[in-house]
């Protein structure tokens, strides 16, 4: 798949609830995911299993009330960005949060090899 196909499929998967399915389809086995801040396990997760673990943690911790995913913003031949806006309820505390982040995706060899997330300042 080319950059634009990967970007469009990632966005479609997010909009249609196929994020987990798309991990094996779009991500390289040695993917690196970098968060803007350390959430307790360091900022970087390495490998597809670690990324699946991040998704499982999110699904077990939050209930998504509303979500919007922008169209992709391509950058050259090897990167694209997506804006995510999510209203989510913490399943344990019941607290509802509005979250907004930018995901920057690096593509090589027809797969996403690195993702980086940027959050708004609090």
Give the tens place of pLDDT for each residue, 5-31: 999 999 999 999 999 899 999 999 999
User: How do 111-119 and 27-34 pair as beta strands?
Assistant: parallel
Per-residue exposure over 93-121, b if at least 16 CB sit within 10 Å of its own CB, e if not: eeeeeeeeebbbbbbeeebbbbbbeeeee
The owner of tokens 């396990």 is 41
Q: Is residue 91 classed as helix, strand or coil in its secondary structure?
A: coil
Domains and CATH numbers, the chain: 3-119 (3.10.450.50)
The owner of tokens 């196929």 is 18
Total-model pTM: 0.93
Confidence of residue 52 (pLDDT cuts 50, 70, 90): very high
CB-based burial label for 16 (10 Å; 0-12, 13-18, 19+): exposed
Work out the mean pLDDT of the chain and round it to a whole number: 94
């Amino acid at each position: 798949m080319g950059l634009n196909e990967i970007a469009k499929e990632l966005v479609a998967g997010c909009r249609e609830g196929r994020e987990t399915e798309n991990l094996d389809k779009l991500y390289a086995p040695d993917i690196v995911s970098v968060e803007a801040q350390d959430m307790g396990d360091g900022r970087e997760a390495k490998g597809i299993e670690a990324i699946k673990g991040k998704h499982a943690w999110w699904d077990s911790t939050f209930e998504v009330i509303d979500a919007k995913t922008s169209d992709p913003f391509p950058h050259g031949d090897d990167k694209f960005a997506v804006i995510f806006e999510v209203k989510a309820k913490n399943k344990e505390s019941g607290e509802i949060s509005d979250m907004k982040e930018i995901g920057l995706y690096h593509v090589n060899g027809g797969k996403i090899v690195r993702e980086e997330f940027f959050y708004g300042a609090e």
